[in-house]
Amino acid sequence: MKITPAAPDDLPKLLAFRQEAAAWLGKLGTDQWSRPYPADLLLATIKSGAVFMVRDGEVTAATITLTPDAEEGLWAEEKLSEPSMFVNKLTVARTHAGRNLGERLLDWAGDRAYQAQAKWLRLDAWTTNEGLQQYYLRQGFEHVRTVREGGAVNGGPRVSGWLAQRPARPAEHGFVDATPAPQSLPLT
């Protein structure tokens, strides 16, 4: 499998991924991703070079967003002073579930963050999705805090405020990496 940068014409696939994931999550009893994500915001993220796709031949198997920019209002100033990369919107197609793609993508993200001279790989997860939180803990993340104040980028109250981090580190992820080398983060 190959990981590549997303392109603007991947937008419909990414929006469909999110709908597919929301339906699956709904069957598990969570409302995670039940509100649509604004297409214009996702397109801007794609154009910024922060969205990546895992391709299995001609099929898109998964996606991840990896950015040096923290969502406003989540991380304390002391944490923001440490060089970090942030994982968002990690999604695996149901056709490729059970193949450790999520774990491998987190390893890829941690390796890419390390190459960019980040100290931390950080994420925010759905506040009420305890199964997802446990998954991230099993992947070596440490819970930092939970933020419930503020609003979500797609409207309504903040719902993704469970914050976790693990050290950025080199990793063998098994993907053919067809992405450009990451830019080094400014050291603070």
Q: Domain locations in the chain?
A: 2-177
3-state secondary structure at position 52: strand
**In whole angstroms, what is the distance from residue 55 CA to residue 63 CA?**
9
Distance CA 117, CA 51 (A): 19
pTM here? 0.88
E-state strands within the chain: 2-5, 51-56, 59-67, 84-92, 120-125, 142-146, 162-167, 176-177
| Torsion on CA atoms 9, 6, 160, 111, rounded to nearest 10 | 180
Distance CA 12, CA 14 (A): 5
What would the pLDDT profile of 119-154 be if each residue is shown by its tens digit?
999 998 888 888 889 999 999 999 998 876 655 554
| Helix, strand or coil, per DSSP, at residue 37 | coil
Of 3.60.15.10, 3.40.630.30, 3.40.50.300, 3.30.360.10, the CATH number of 2-177 is 3.40.630.30
Judged against a pLDDT cut of 60, whether residue 163 lies above it is answered with yes
